[in-house]
Structure 1
Amino acid sequence: MSPTTSETLTDWLSYIERLHPHTIEMGLARVREVYQRLAIEFAMPVITVGGTNGKGSTCAMLESILMRAGYRVGLYTSPHLIRFNERARLCGEIVADDALTDSFALVEAARGDIQLTYFEFTTLAVLKLFADAGLDAVILEVGLGGRLDAVNLVDADVAIVTSIDIDHTDYLGDTREQIGFEKAGIFRTGRTAICGDPRPPQSLIDHAMEIGTDLWLFGRDFNYSGDKQQWNFAGRGQRRSSLGYPSLRGANQLLNASAALAALEALRNRLPVGAQEVRTGLVMVELPGRFQVLPGRPSVILDVAHNPHAAATLAQNLDNMGFHAYTYAVFGALHDKDIDGVIAQLRDRIDHWCVTDLPLPRAATALQLKEKLLAAGLGPQSVADKDKSIEIFATPADAYANALSRAGENDRIAVFGSFLTVAGVIAAREAGKSRKSSD
């Protein structure tokens, strides 16, 4: 029995999880049929954002700038950290439970006997919600790949591919050329296609040209320059000077910001944005879990880096932080990720590894992570070696508590890997704050 509109969001999500035997089933035929039955149409400009890394940051910058310009904006991202509602934002606010359950009920009524995965079902619900909300602009983060992702049902006015690297090889291929073709699947004939990767695969360029897009490449059609104080953007016909750095920290944020500004240049006749709105939007943007440095001592860094490309960026960002006596890692990962590649990028930055199980069948166990670290030659070199360690834990909260108990005020704790790792630590910190406030 399907839930009714009076059922809770938790009931609906539990029901949706059971609808399909697989978490992922590539292909758009089933979900397109339901999309058409729902008569989803977007009268406002739509921007889709795909890529291996940098999608969330780019989406957040676009939302922040457009909202400062006074536009009503819908933003869809995935996955969430703590609450499902985080995936859908209307005018900067997460969507309420009842709005989601009402939209779930519409999808349930429209699908008939068509099986949908959790992501497909919930994506359709959010798309229907946004299409009917009277918005000025919609920003959609692509979930996995591009060509066969449910978000790709929408013919976006501007499609951005932020970066291309090796990830999700079981579904997308194991080379940048194969993955680039899949990412380029979000481009549309006669519309703007933006690639923010400085080294785009030829497959992406070839596909964009073959289908007749208006292709914007970083370094050719747009770029940035700057110093330690400010930076400048240059597009095809628009320049943005004396910009403050985005509040999102990290080495690649100017690439992401440049792609976002290129998209806004392409849409400037429909969504004009002033210089001050761009400056304020970049300075005020927020996105939890992307090289998020928490206040206090020891320093705590939250980063959902879960593939080698993202781990390399995290390593560079850690290097830029300055001296810390010891670095503790709280690390949990899914077993289908390139865990060895992630470890290789960070091996020289981590002294003490606190590896954790995660509450998902796809997760690597803490013991498996420890075995990979030992195989990479990490960990204490002798019983007397107190400067290196590898410990295993049942939950991210336990791993974080251990790291916090051992770290000194001049040390730092890097929480990274799966979204579930970061979410577990965020939840533990919030629970700790609640206990303190009730005492």
Structure 2
Amino acid sequence: MSPTTFKQLNDWLHWLETTRPETNIELGLTRIHKVLDNARLLKPAPFVITVAGTNGKGSTVALLESILTGAGYNVGAYTSPHIHRFNERIRINGVEVSDQSLCEAFCDIDRHRKDNWLSYFEFAVAVAAYCFKQADVEIAIMEVGLGGRLDATNAIDPDLSIITTVDLDHQDWLGDTIEEIAREKAGIMRPGVPAIYGDPSVPESIIEQAIAVEAPLYRRGTEFNISVEKTTWYWQGKTRQGLEENIQKLPVPQLVIDNAATVIQAVKLLPYPVSYDQLSEGIARARLSGRYTKVVVENKNNDPVEVVFDVAHNPQAARKLRERLEQDPVPGKTRALIAMYRDKDYKSVVNILAPVIDEWYVSEFDSPRALAMSDLKDVVKDCGGSVGDNTPMTDIVDCSSSIDRLLIVGSFQTVSLYLNQAVE
């Protein structure tokens, strides 16, 4: 059946997943650039913000989206991967694009690709660009999938570049050192276009690339900074005109405060005014599924049990998750149900989380990259933890009480699988 005859989104997605699985990664800009050029989508919005980084990309996009839509601007946001459904990847003013609009976009992109083969991710980026152009968005926020330099989103020139953090992840694709990985992520920088780096420790290759392309660089700890108190925090940085600005008494966000600091610097560099109230309300309102998401479920005795879902799948994310668990203690036990990809640094993730986990349960998901339960079990045992395998989430909840909590962690696949079960 030709994809041009598809009328349902599920048909398009089934075709996409069976002919070009998401696990088949093919980096490069030649294919996607040709298709976007054919479809006149190389500039899907008057202002484009590209967000790269090892961790914090999704939170940064969510915060930007919340602030800018709350300020009355027409905003498109592209993120990946999704947790519940493909529509989550493409939003207009915080609302997921409809199945019908996505079908129209897939048809148009498939027509314009001609003989060009596109990967799953390239198709998704092109579909997002089409949806943004059709909706006449003023600001398009594009989250990089992998790296930066050769990622499909980088075929679209940004008007502002953001790199949240850099840590070891995807070494098979990006390099074995922080500097190598940072150099790949710095590939989203453009000549003369402002770039923001959101972590206090700035790799040299970030600075070198900014100098090479003459991109004004705004670094956390240098051009902008924050101070945090118990119930509020303060931001200091620079405006688009180069003036110093101090913002006081900001609300503590539900998402990571470091990303909120980066986002404020981004907002201050936009040609779109945002008031203090719009900034504060947007920060307080921002949420992101699967990032320390709490859901309360009942055990067999009808007692409430807290379940925390977090997609942490690399050492940097695990350290941040451990901090949040330590700051948010429970009087009982913390049990963890974990499943991961075998190409992730799963040993470090387990070692980092081990001090805050009382009991472990290992699982696996359906993917050629999935880590075997036996391998994950061995790592937990090496940490001295008690471990069970292939235990249903409901059974773990049933052995927990209202003073305990269950952590579901390890990847988007893990969170997607169990979060869907929890909310059914």
TM-score, structure 2 normalization: 0.94
Are the equivalent residues in 2 in contact too, given 1:324–1:412 (CA < 8 A)? no
Q: Is the 8 A contact 2:45 2:132 kept in 1?
A: no
Per the TM alignment, residue 247 of structure 1 is displaced from its structure 2 partner at its CA by 2.4
How much does 1:80 deviate? 0.3
Give the C-alpha shift of residue 27 in structure 1.
1.1
- What count of residue pairs does the alignment treat as equivalent? 411
Maintained 8 Å contact 1:184/1:207: yes
Distance 2:367 2:7 in 1: 25
Question: Shift of residue 133 of structure 1?
Answer: 1.5
Q: CA deviation at 1:3?
A: 2.1
Q: Which residue of 2 aligns with 1:411?
A: 404
Structure 1 residue 355 displacement after superposition: 1.0
Letter of the aligned partner of 2:26 in structure 1? Answer: E
Instruction: Give the residue type in structure 1 aligned to 2:260.
Output: A
Deviation at 1:8, TM superposition (A): 1.2
What code does the residue aligned with 2:94 have?
Answer: G
CA distance in 1, matches of 2:122, 2:91: 18
Q: 2:334 touches 2:358 (CA, 8 Å); kept in 1?
A: yes
Whole-angstrom distance in 1 between the partners of 2:373 and 2:237: 47
Aligned to 1:390: 387
Decide whether the 8 Å contact of 1:355 with 1:399 is kept in 2.
no
**Correspondence list, 1:272-311, <5 A:** 272-295=273-296, 297-311=304-318
Question: Does the 8 Å CA contact 2:45/2:139 hold for their aligned counterparts?
Answer: no
Judge which range, 39-48 or 414-423, deviates more.
Answer: 39-48
Aligned twin of 1:11: 11
Equivalences for 1:2-401 in 2 at 5 Å? 2-4=2-4, 6-20=6-20, 23-40=24-41, 41-236=43-238, 237=243, 238-248=245-255, 253-267=256-270, 270-295=271-296, 297-374=304-381, 376-379=382-385, 389-393=386-390, 399-401=392-394
SS in 2 for 1:4: helix
Q: Say whether the 8 Å CA contact 1:392–1:399 is kept in structure 2.
A: no
Residue 414 (structure 2) aligns with: 421
Deviation at 1:293, TM superposition (A): 2.5
Structure 1: where are the runs of 5+ without partners?
Answer: 380-388, 432-439
**Cα distance in 2 for residues equivalent to 1:290 and 1:67:** 21
Letter in 2 for 1:97: D
What is the CA-CA distance between 1:117 and the residue it aligns to? 0.9
Is 2:182–2:203's contact at 8 Å kept on the other side of the alignment? Answer: yes
Q: Is the CA contact 1:19–1:115 (under 8 Å) kept in the aligned structure 2?
A: no
Partner of 1:436: none
Letter in structure 2 aligned against 1:273: V
CA distance in 2 between partners of 1:411 and 1:391 (Å)? 17
Which sits farther off after the overlay, 15-24 or 170-179?
Answer: 15-24
| Aligned-partner residue type, residue 30 of structure 2 | A
Show structure 2 runs of 5+ residues with no match: 298-303
Match of 1:382 in 2: none
Query: Can you list the C-alpha shifts for 1:225-260, whole angstroms capped at 9, x where unaligned?
Result: 131121111112332221111122xxxx22101111
What amino acid is the match of 1:303? Answer: D
| SS in structure 2 at match of 1:426 | helix
CA-to-aligned-CA distance 1:285-312 (integer Å, 9 cap, x gap) = 1111111223474322111000011011
For residues 32 and 298 of structure 1, do their structure 2 counterparts lie closer, same or farther at Cα, with a shift above 3 Å needed? same
286 and 71 in structure 1: CA distance in 2 versus 1, 3 angstrom threshold: same
Aligned partners of 1:5 and 1:102 also within 8 Å: no
| Distance (Å, rounded) in 2 between the aligned partners of 1:196 and 1:180 | 13
Deviation track 1:350-389 (CA, whole Å, cap 9, x = no partner) reads 1211111102111112222112222x2433xxxxxxxxx3
Q: Distance in 1 between matches of 2:233 and 2:209?
A: 32
- Distance in structure 1 (CA, Å) of the matches to 2:28 and 2:252: 39
Q: 1:5 to 1:99 in 2, by over 3 A?
A: farther
Please say which of residues 74-83 and 8-17 is displaced more in the overlay: 8-17
Contact 1:17–1:117 (CA<8 Å) still a contact in 2? no
Partner Cα separation in structure 2 for residue 67 and residue 287 of structure 1: 15
- Superposed CA deviations along residues 21-53 of structure 1, whole A, max 9, x for unmatched, are 771011111111111111112342111111000
- Does the 8 A contact of 1:75 with 1:140 survive in 2? yes
**C-alpha deviation, 1:7, in angstroms:** 2.2
Q: 1:118 is matched by which residue type in structure 2?
A: Y
1:412 Cα deviation (Å)? 1.2
Contact 1:2–1:15 (CA under 8 A) maintained in structure 2: no
| Alignment-derived partner of residue 300 in structure 2 | none
d(CA) in 2 for partners of 1:354, 1:322: 20
CA deviation map 1:131-157 (0-9, x unaligned): 232112111111011010001111111
CA distance in 2, matches of 1:224, 1:273: 19
Taking the aligned partners of 1:367 and 1:324, their CA distance within structure 2 comes to 31
> In structure 2, what is the Cα distance between the partners aligned to 1:137 and 1:5?
32
